[in-house]
Every structure is written in C-alpha cells, then in structure tokens.
Amino acid sequence: MRIGCCYSKCTRFFLIFFCCFIGGCAELDRFAKDLTEATSCPNPVTGARELSLMNEQKEIEVGTKEESECIQKFQSQGLAVDEDKETLAKLQVMLSKITHVSHRPNLPWEIHIVDTDPINAFAIPGGKIFVLKGLIGNLVLSDDELAGVLAHEVAHVTCRHTVTQQASSLVMSMIEKKTRQGIYKASYSTLQEDQADKVGLLYMAMAGYNPEVMYGIWKRADQKYGSNPDNYLYDHSLNNDRANKVSQIIPIAKEYFKGEGVQNANFNNVLIENKVVPRTEFKTDSGLAALSEVSLNTYVQYLKTKNEQKNREKEKEQNESYLQFARLSNVQQQSTSDGKIGLFANVTNASNTNMKKVRVTVYYVDSANKVLYTEAQDLSNIPSSQTAQAGFYLKNVPNYKDVRIGVTNVEF
C-alpha cells in the first residue's frame, strides 16, 4: 500500500513539473502523444494508463477467433459444449447481472459450459467466458460461489489482463539481461489474479451476490488441492494465501452489497469511486506527460513483479529443505471396505522434531506427463521417527495414463 500511495503522489508531482518544463516543445509533445496512444490505453477499472498494443476492437476480434477455436477443440475431444441448457441459462443470467454493473458492460459478452471433469473456468479477451462443468458441485457449492467465480473472470476482461500482459511480457523480456520471460509472465499473472479477486468481489457485491462466500472457496481449495509452493511458476496465489487476501477485502466489498439478489442502484458512481480498487487516473493534454505516466506505470509493475518472483523462489527453497524429512513408502493400490479402489502410502517423519502438517498430493497425468487433476490430503502432527498413512479414492479422470503420489509441503 505504501508503494502505491507514494507512487501516486510522486507521479502527479513529477508529471505536472515535467509538463511545465517541456511545454514549449510542441512537435516533440505531439510525437509523444501519438506514441502513447499507439502503445497504451487507460485501464477501464483503475484509470491508470498502461502499456497495450491492442485496442478494444482488436481485442474483440481476437477474442471471437479464440472463442471459436476453443469450442472446436473441446468438441474435437468429444466434449459437449452448451448442451446442458439448464446450467447454461443459469450462467447467462448470472453473467448478465455481473457485467451490467461492471466497467465494460457493452462488450459482446458470452458464456459457455463444457461437459468435462476438470475444475476450472477461464476468460478470453473481448468478453468470452468458459466454465468447465467439473467446477460446479466440487469446488463451487452454491449459486453465490458460482457467481463469484464468474465475477472474477469478468474482472480479468474488464482489467484487460491478457492484453496488457502480452505487451508487458514483450517489454520485460527486453529489459531483462537473462531470458526470464516465462518466470516474469507467471509472476505478473499472480498480480493480475489478485486484482481480479478484488474487482470480482466488488462486481458480485453490486450484482446482489454475497462476497463473503469467496473466502470459503479458497479455504476449501486449500483443503482439497493444497497450497504447494514447489512450483513457483504458478499463475495464482497459493490457495491459503488467496483465502487470507480475500478475507481482507471482503468487509470492504460488503459495503456495496445491498442484499441477496438486490442490485446496487448506485453502481455507476461506485465504479468511478470505491474503496476496493481506487482509481489512479491522471488527466493531461501533454503527450510527454502521458508517455511518462506509461513508463512509470510499467516500471512500477516491473518492480512488483521482481519482488513477487524473489518471494516465490524463497518459498520454493524453504519447502525443498523441509521435504527431505518426509519419507514416502509402501505406495499401493488396494480395495477399500466400501468396494472402491484406493491409493495408499506411508509417510515417515525422518527429522528429530514433530511435523505439524504434511501434505500428500496425488497427480493424474496423461501420456505426455501433463497434470490433468490433483488431489491433496493433510496429515497432522507426525512425531519424530513415526509413520502415518495417507489414502485416496482413485477417480475416473478422462485421458489419464498414470497416477503419481508425492509429499508436496511440510510444516514444522
């Protein structure tokens, strides 16, 4: 927060001074203005001018093309798209309510339901959203929770995350001496995910859905799928961190919630001024000042990203040092008492200290070793030199070829 406040005040002072200092350079200013308009645009949500190489019309064109490609890809895999008319109708109503109170209500919004087990939803530029049916009834257990997921995806689109990320990745790959574009992209996506969580909470609250339910989703995700820092290229915050972050924003978003199913009548004004995502808009006719704003915004984003990357690397190193003390053995599949097939493994504490929590994770992978589905289980309080058993029901995950099990997190 301190970085943001300091940046906002310093930016305004610097730009006003800079504008006055070079105000006489008319030709240079016109060139800077043209360059700024060609390479950036104001963020519809925050008002801050950001690096962007795609205008709204192009964004919609790209999104429409990607939407068609996604549908064809799903159908080529034998998956039904939009055939569950009842669920699709429910999603369309939710989407309409949420986008109506969003910063970009006039996009050609569309939503699709795909009949497949993986737990996911994703957004495409221009207002196209896909929900995988495995999400409903597993991670998401109520209409309010489902609306919260949709609001999060809508926020990705209104914030133009895909568009700005493409431009930022290009620039950052030139700034970095080393080839770290993959790491940069993932870290930057985490910042985007956090912003989409905030904006999504605001949207669902104003559309009449209780934002309090979103804390439960991420606590449930932590319990079911874990919060493994081993792969620090993940795009989202760890599930337990995400739950904590969301819990801090919920009371603020709740101020704009007028009741279940009740739209906030003042939503147009709230979009311009609210406590969840304050606007940092700087209005100026100076092309040089606007170009400076883009440069400063890009640099500040870069610094935040580098800090996020360092924190992830630190988490990864710490977790790896702990994992060596959790020894996995006797992994086997066998029938359970209720007639199903289970996967079991023993975990032994090889340290001289009590382990408070050990997370065991099962991975379902395809023939190319791509992870299709994961499930996690926590074992609590394993004394030194003692052994505990983890057990999972085997699931019928489409296209999986192998099931693997490993210890992914240890807490002392």
pLDDT per residue as tens digits for the range 16-44? 445 544 445 677 767 666 665 666 677 89
Same domain (yes/no): 148, 9: yes
pLDDT of 14 over the 90 cut = no
The contacts of residue 320 (CB under 8 Å, 6+ apart) are: 230
Q: How confident is the model at residue 212 (pLDDT cuts 50, 70, 90)?
A: very high
Residues 88-145: tens digit of each pLDDT: 999 999 999 999 999 999 999 999 999 998 888 999 989 999 999 999 998 899 999 9
Same domain (yes/no): 125, 261: yes
CA 392 and chain centroid, separation: 28
Count of domains for the chain? 2
Same domain (yes/no): 293, 174: yes
Same domain (yes/no): 183, 330: no
Q: How confident is the model at residue 218 (pLDDT cuts 50, 70, 90)?
A: confident
Confidence at residue 281, expressed as pLDDT on a 0 to 100 scale: 65
Same domain (yes/no): 55, 71: yes
Confidence at residue 117, expressed as pLDDT on a 0 to 100 scale: 85
pLDDT of 272 over the 80 cut = yes
Mean pLDDT of the chain: 82
Last residue of one domain, picked from the residues 316, 338, 362? 316
The pair of three-digit structure tokens given for residue 127, joined into one six-digit string: 């207002």
Same domain (yes/no): 72, 185: yes
Helical spans, DSSP H, in 255-324: 267-272, 287-323
Same domain (yes/no): 53, 160: yes
pLDDT of 45 over the 80 cut = yes
pLDDT of 2 over the 50 cut = no
Last residue of one domain, picked from the residues 269, 290, 316? 316
Q: Are 104 and 41 in contact (CB under 8 A)?
A: no
Confidence at residue 303, expressed as pLDDT on a 0 to 100 scale: 76
Q: Are 48 and 55 in contact (CB under 8 A)?
A: no
The contacts of residue 376 (CB under 8 Å, 6+ apart) are: 223, 224, 225, 226, 228, 359, 360, 361, 362, 408
Confidence at residue 102, expressed as pLDDT on a 0 to 100 scale: 98
How far apart CA 361 and CA 279 sit, in angstroms, is 41
The model's pTM is: 0.68
Range of the domain at 376: 324-411
When computed from its CA atoms, the radius of gyration of the chain, rounded to whole angstroms, is 24
Same domain (yes/no): 360, 384: yes
Last residue of one domain, picked from the residues 266, 295, 316? 316
The contacts of residue 160 (CB under 8 Å, 6+ apart) are: 41, 43, 44, 50, 52, 59, 125
Q: Are 114 and 80 in contact (CB under 8 A)?
A: yes
Q: Which helix (H) or strand (E) holds 367?
A: none
Confidence at residue 370, expressed as pLDDT on a 0 to 100 scale: 87
What is the chain's length? 412
pLDDT of 336 over the 80 cut = yes
Same domain (yes/no): 275, 387: no
Same domain (yes/no): 252, 341: no
Lowest mean pLDDT among 233-242, 297-306, 337-346: 233-242
- Residue 339 DSSP class: S
CATH of the domain at 343: 2.60.40.3230
Q: How confident is the model at residue 225 (pLDDT cuts 50, 70, 90)?
A: low
Q: Are 396 and 361 in contact (CB under 8 A)?
A: no
Q: Are 63 and 124 in contact (CB under 8 A)?
A: yes
3-state secondary structure of 58: helix
Confidence at residue 25, expressed as pLDDT on a 0 to 100 scale: 64
Q: How confident is the model at residue 12 (pLDDT cuts 50, 70, 90)?
A: low
Report the pLDDT averaged over residues 167-190: 46
Report the pLDDT averaged over residues 195-207: 96
Same domain (yes/no): 309, 335: no
Same domain (yes/no): 304, 336: no
- Residue 284 DSSP class: -
Burial pattern 68-99, b for ≥16 Cβ within 10 A else e, equals eebbeebeeeebebbebeebbebbeebbebbb
pLDDT of 7 over the 70 cut = no
Nearest to 392 by CA among 339, 345, 330: 345
Number of H helices, E strands in the chain: 11, 11
Report the pLDDT averaged over residues 218-238: 59
